[in-house]
Amino acid sequence: MRAILRTRRTLNLGELNSLVFPVIVANCGGWVAYGIVRLDPFVFAPNALGVLLGLFYSLSALCFADKQAQDRIVQAFFFFTTLLLLAAGVTTFGHFSLANNVFIWGIVSNFISLTYYTAPLSTIAKVFHTRSAASLHAPICAMNMVNGVLWTAYGFATAQPFLFVPNAIGAALALFQVALCCIFRSKVHGPPGGGDAEAPTAHNPASRPYPAPGAATDDYMASTNSVDGLLPPRTVLSAPVNFAELSHMPIAEAAPAKRRSRGAHARASFDEGATVPM
């Protein structure tokens, strides 16, 4: 929730994996149907709330994601909505027994649950390549682990293998993701991945951008002049100085003095018999 609220405040999704949010809607939607068919209010109620929260997360991510992430969200919604509608049609018009309907919704919900728990793993290759867990949202991974443990316990207590099997697997996968978050601590990639990014200012010179050697100074001036007025307009930066070349340059000798000192002028005038001005 905090990551989504930060995204709405900064208008930037950052490195947050947006594919997780539509899967939350589908996962909770499947368990809502399972709870209705099995007449289990303890399954229905929390997952109904999860559908609402998942919609809020998904729509917020859809507004601020880039074009590629938006396409993935839409495709995920289309796929899982089609799957849920097919399951609803089969169980409603198939004239199956109650046990068979529970079995169908259990299979569908298990498939979506495993998809949900493995959705963050879509960025595992990026995590190992960049050695940064910025794309894995640590609070979501931690809550997935807690969620899996609790549903596993409830499934064992009520003898529902459709509950404890996928959630036990999900808890193990979430534990693996939490371990990755601890090993590869997230780097700063913008506001959604962590705290609010600090703008470069004169009071924070460490965050002030400097041009790379050989980079065009006009682009650098355009960027720095727009940040807190660090540089006045029309300031031109010289090219980077190569101090290695300067160390080999000969030092110019000082030019001889064109004017004699006052003492030397007095001695010359005394020798010539002139009066020394006082």
- 101: which 2 tokens? 């309907």
The C-alpha atoms of residue 38 and residue 230 are separated, in whole angstroms, by 65
Is residue 104 within 8 Å of 90, Cβ to Cβ? yes
From residue 83, alpha-carbon distances to 32, 105, 115 in Å are 14, 11, 13
pLDDT of residue 139: 83
pLDDT digits (tens, 9 = 90+) for 140-199: 889 989 999 999 999 999 999 999 999 999 999 999 989 888 888 755 444 444 444 444
pLDDT of residue 35: 96
From residue 251, alpha-carbon distances to 176, 239, 241, 243, 256 in Å are 64, 22, 17, 14, 15
Closest among 36, 22, 164 to 105, alpha carbons compared: 36
pLDDT of residue 12: 76
Is residue 221 within 8 Å of 229, Cβ to Cβ? no
Which residues of the chain fall below pLDDT 50? 188-217, 220-238, 261, 266, 270, 274-278
The C-alpha atoms of residue 23 and residue 27 are separated, in whole angstroms, by 6
pLDDT of residue 30: 96
The C-alpha atoms of residue 143 and residue 153 are separated, in whole angstroms, by 15
From residue 119, alpha-carbon distances to 38, 68, 170, 215, 278 in Å are 27, 16, 11, 40, 95
The position carrying tokens 């997780």 is 20
The C-alpha atoms of residue 195 and residue 188 are separated, in whole angstroms, by 8
- 262: which 2 tokens? 């006052």
The C-alpha atoms of residue 38 and residue 115 are separated, in whole angstroms, by 22
pLDDT of residue 133: 78
What sign for the dihedral angle of Cα 120, 66, 195, 200?
positive
